[in-house]
Amino acid sequence: MTEIIDYLGDPWTLEFMRRGLIAAVVVGAVAAVIGSFVILKGMAFIGDALPHASFGGIAAAFVLGANLYLGGAIAAVLTALLIAFVSRRALIKYDTAIGILFVGAFAAGILIISRQTNYAPDLFSFVFGNVLGVSWSDVWITTVAGAVILILVVLFYKELLFVAYDPSMAAAAGLPVAAVQYGLMALIGITTVIGLQTVGIVLVVALLVTPAATAQLLTRRLPSMMALGAAVGVLSSVGGLYVAYYADVSASAAIVLTATAFFFLAFLFAPRRGLLWQRRFAPVEPA
């Protein structure tokens, strides 16, 4: 018994593990809540695009000596708003606009760094994530930003739900649809930026999509989908950090793969919607 407790408790005797845990848990929960909207609106591509776009801002902030997260957040939010603007105007197709804007912003980041004579290894932690290298100030920023995002979702839940579910009816009812859509895009942008330090640009989309999709298979209503998604996100972060600690592998990859494992468990075994359930019961399912 004490062995199990030692085994479970051992990683958290280290301060950098504790810092990483707090950051990963906050990001796992917040990303799943925002990610619920992302997958319901079919915006996974945006979840991939915004972290890439933030790299332009991170690089610019690095050169200017400004706060890297602030730079990343500004770039991500600006890109998000531009995507929303272009798609509302229907000038070009939605996914085309995303493709143009995020690669442009990412390339701007590479361009800026390539001019730096002193190489910038710091920036690579943004590409692949470095959750075990976060500082207390990173943890602090993440927690405050995450809390603000969750509070905004709770306060404007009614508007977010209505606009996500049926924008034309919401507009007919007099809700400020454009403002809500822009606001949601900005929240997605900020969420991806705080996700960067946990899993990095390349993998952050998994935090938005995978726990929320897992929860979607197991729930009937949006609030329970968000809550369960947050729980899956938190469990993935904790589980991933254990795997990283004991198997000595990349923490970001371990967190993402833990979430992927949860998804496949739900995909196979979810009541009613799981693959095995459908195989077994589909022929007798009543109309």
State how far the Cα of 218 lies from the Cα of 131, in Å rounded to an integer: 29
Residue 28 and residue 150 in contact, taking contact as beta carbons nearer than 8 Å: no
Site for another protein in 219-238 (CB under 8 A): 219-222, 225
Among 166, 271, 276, 280, binds another protein (CB under 8 A): 166
- Which string of x and - marks every residue 169-198 that binds another protein (by CB under 8 A)? xxxxxxx-----------------------
Regarding 86 and contact with another protein (CB under 8 A), the answer is no
Site for another protein in 26-45 (CB under 8 A): 40
The least distance separating another protein from the CB of residue 167, rounded to whole angstroms, comes to: 10
Pick 22 or 178: Cβ nearer another protein = 178
Among 45, 85, 128, 162, binds another protein (CB under 8 A): 162
Residues 6 or more apart in contact with residue 253 via CB below 8 angstroms: 203
* 161-34-237-13 Cα dihedral, nearest 10 degrees: -100
The least distance separating another protein from the CB of residue 183, rounded to whole angstroms, comes to: 11
Residue 91 and residue 39 in contact, taking contact as beta carbons nearer than 8 Å: no
Stretch that binds another protein, among 27-35, 73-81, 138-146, 153-161 (CB under 8 A): 153-161
How many residues belong to the site for another protein (CB under 8 A)? 24
State how far the Cα of 208 lies from the Cα of 200, in Å rounded to an integer: 13
Among 14, 107, 155, 249, binds another protein (CB under 8 A): 155
The least distance separating another protein from the CB of residue 224, rounded to whole angstroms, comes to: 8
Stretch that binds another protein, among 78-86, 99-107, 159-167, 245-253 (CB under 8 A): 159-167
Cα atoms found within 13 Å of the Cα of residue 223, Cβ hemisphere only: 4
Nearest in space to 197 (alpha carbons), one of 126, 139, 248: 126
Q: Which residues of 97-117 are buried (b: 16+ CB within 10 A; e: fewer)?
A: bbeebbeebbebbeebbeeee
162 by Cβ neighbours in 10 Å (0-12 / 13-18 / 19+) ranks as: middle
The least distance separating another protein from the CB of residue 47, rounded to whole angstroms, comes to: 19
The least distance separating another protein from the CB of residue 221, rounded to whole angstroms, comes to: 5
Regarding 151 and contact with another protein (CB under 8 A), the answer is no
State how far the Cα of 257 lies from the Cα of 129, in Å rounded to an integer: 14
Pick 70 or 164: Cβ nearer another protein = 164
Regarding 156 and contact with another protein (CB under 8 A), the answer is yes
State how far the Cα of 59 lies from the Cα of 80, in Å rounded to an integer: 18
Regarding 207 and contact with another protein (CB under 8 A), the answer is no
Question: What letter does residue 173 receive in the DSSP assignment?
Answer: T
The least distance separating another protein from the CB of residue 161, rounded to whole angstroms, comes to: 7
The least distance separating another protein from the CB of residue 275, rounded to whole angstroms, comes to: 18
Regarding 161 and contact with another protein (CB under 8 A), the answer is yes
Other residues' Cβ atoms within 10 Å of the Cβ of residue 78:
18
The residues of the shown chain that bind another protein, judged by CB under 8 A, are 40, 155-156, 158-159, 161-162, 164-166, 168-175, 216, 219-222, 225
